[in-house]
Chains A and B, each alone.
Chain A
Amino acid sequence: MTMKTLLAGATLALGLATGAAADGHEPTTVGFVYVGPIGDGGWTYEHDKGRLAVEEAFGDQVETVYVESVPEGPDAERVMTQMALQGADLIFTTSFGYMDQTIAVAEKFPDVKFEHATGYKRADNVSTYSARFYEGRAVQGHIAGQMTESNVIGYIASFPIPEVIRGINSAYLHAAEVNPDVEFKIIWVYTWFDPAKEAEAANVLIEQGADVILQHTDSTAPQAAAQAAGNVVTFGQASDMAEFAPFPRVSSIIDDWAPYYIARTQAVIDGTWESTDTWDGIGPGMVGIGEITDAVPAEIKASAEALVESLRTGEYHAFTGPINKQDGSAWLADGEIADDGTLAGMDFYVEGITGEIPQ
């Protein structure tokens, strides 16, 4: 437990004390459980922007509390229980690894609403929400496949879960589409946030010939490593990471949680909250594509923007057949579109990616 955890707890207690004193107009309390520090510049940073947007939208009606750097596992259960006990009405748990803990705590507190990000287990008082990041990965792959000169693209992967595998597949498919010779080198770092390890992984990939680095980890360390190397292209992950634009960062995937958080908080205030499963992409605005910089040649930029547009309107799906699985067996027939169930549980590479998914 860090100092901030203690402070957050103290704030929560204080908030409750003052809230109870108010005459019947208790503010709605919304809790957030973060996997990294707010200052990670990526995943958690964007969730916290969503929290601040909630505060701004509702003013005195809503109080928000948060605990950062909560490890995935039993500790998370303790933090959620604490939040629920201290009167939170709605709790957002913002990492895949909180899934079982969220379900367990939700069972004990049927009156508290829970929202779990990127998971697939729901209950009467547990909703799930996620963004179709793979749409953004498609755009990255499209640009990366054309920007690479060594035809080696490095990929810093976190944990072997469907979300990450989906991203690798989507990026690979769209890179191979524009550049059949492209090869992916994938390193699993088994962490969402460890700047030193991410930097080391990026350096190793660069040493082994990669001139584009895609990352599914939350810090900006790989961006800095690419910048030091000089001629390596990167993409912002979860957050814009614009401080590395126009080069090495040539574009980014931005998570925008604010509209969803505001809508769900409103639903709790109105008493209309229901358990749902939300999975939004570029169209509804949950996934944003950061500005494609001038380091990308104009024609590549134009075709990438056309791809973004077709994903936005829904005219094109990032997983459209024909696609084979890694072992060569058919997955999607020509023109067939992947169903959400398969995507949500994706545990295989598509044809052309070498290496195995760790079990």
Chain B
Amino acid sequence: MDLSSINPVLLLASLMVAATPILLAAIGELVVERAGVLNLGVEGMMITGAVCGFVVAVGTNSPWLGFLGAAIGGALLSVIFGFLTQLLLSNQVATGLALTLFGLGLSALMGQGYIGIKAPEFPDWHIPLLGDIPVIGPIVFQHDPMVYVGLVIVAGVWAFLKYSRAGLILRAVGENHEAAHALGYHVVRVRMLAIMFGGACAGLGGAYLSLVRVPQWTEGMTAGAGWIALAIVVFASWRPGRLLLGAYLFGGVTVLQLNLQAAGAAIGVEYLSMAPYLATIAVLVIMRAGRAPGSLGQSFHASR
């Protein structure tokens, strides 16, 4: 084994990139679940975002517009889910699963003419001064802008839930929708907004794959990232800080196991491949799992 061929600076730098798609999708789902809605359609919204973002970016030649299109695409798909579960009171689990299947099919259809085309370039951001700090600079301050957008969204969600009045209302709706309704809050409206935010974030996560990480369109390219995002929300006990930790841990061990393999580590490849999942589960379980929002997954109707 030749561990010297692993460059720790590059390893930590690629960790941040590897974690970003999951982080984006997970922070959106966190808000949705804090509002008391369980949307299992993350994978479907991610892949739809991936294709929408790609189509828009290629059409306009602007990755930024691509990300905007991805957010809109993901949000539109989530509106279908919101309409079915919030207004027609369909079962959230079944509807969410259906949304994933629908998203996979829809994205394959939309992406027909875009196979093998390259996305416009999305250059890394070399932040002046900060990017020049030795060691820390290349790790933290020389990424593409979406890595920082993801971090800003996480910080924003944290502050929103903890300090703002709107965040308090959202949490109240998630904890006990009947009490929130009795207080005069519009449960369905709050939840619809949360669902759309979740869809937009999942769309951004998907577009990060198709515009930055891969970067091109291939069918089924999210390959299960949406499910990992869902798991991370639960293991992070619905708290943004832990969610960041979970996503980075997952991304970090994923990159590390590939590095160990390439360096010829004498550990079985199967164990290395399992490592990201095991490490994420172990750490987040040890950190004492929190309680789920009280009304999670339950339908609400004002007449009851």
Contacts and interface: CB of A to CB of B under 8 A. Distances in A.
A100 B4 CA distance: 43
Interface in B204-251: 209, 213-216, 218-223, 225
B261 A188 contact: yes
B297 interface: no
A205 B218 contact: no
A220 B218 contact: yes
B299 interface: no
Given A41-B116, A200-B18, A209-B5, A195 B214 contact: yes
A274 B171 CA distance: 67
Given A201-B258, A220-B116, A40 B264 contact: no
Interface of B: 5-7, 10-11, 14, 18, 21, 101-102, 104-106, 108-109, 111-112, 115-118, 209, 213-216, 218-223, 225, 254-255, 258-259, 261-264, 266, 268-270, 273
A185 B216 contact: no
A320 B120 CA distance: 46
Nearest to B106: A3
B216 A40 contact: no
Given A190-B269, A196-B214, 7 more contacts: A154-B262, A185-B262, A188-B269, A219-B218, A220-B216, A220-B218, A224-B118
Contacts of A39: 108, 111-112, 115, 218-219
B101 A2 contact: yes
Nearest to A355: B264
Given A37-B220, A188-B269, A197-B223, A204 B106 contact: no
23 contacts: A3-B109, A39-B112, A39-B218, A41-B115, A41-B116, A41-B218, A185-B263, A187-B258, A193-B223, A195-B209, A196-B214, A199-B213, A199-B214, A200-B14, A201-B258, A204-B262, A208-B259, A220-B116, A220-B216, A221-B218, A228-B215, A356-B266, A359-B268
A40 B218 contact: yes
Contacts of B18: 200
What are the 10 tightest A-B residue pairs by CB atom distance, in nearest-first order? A3-B105, A37-B219, A358-B269, A204-B258, A39-B219, A194-B223, A39-B115, A195-B221, A185-B262, A207-B10
Contact of B108 (A4, A41, A187): A4
Nearest to B124: A228
Contacts of A188: 261, 269, 273
B254 A200 contact: yes
A30 interface: no
Nearest to A152: B5
Contact of B263 (A4, A190, A208, A356): A208
Contacts of A197: 223
Given A3-B104, A39-B218, A196-B21, A208 B269 contact: no
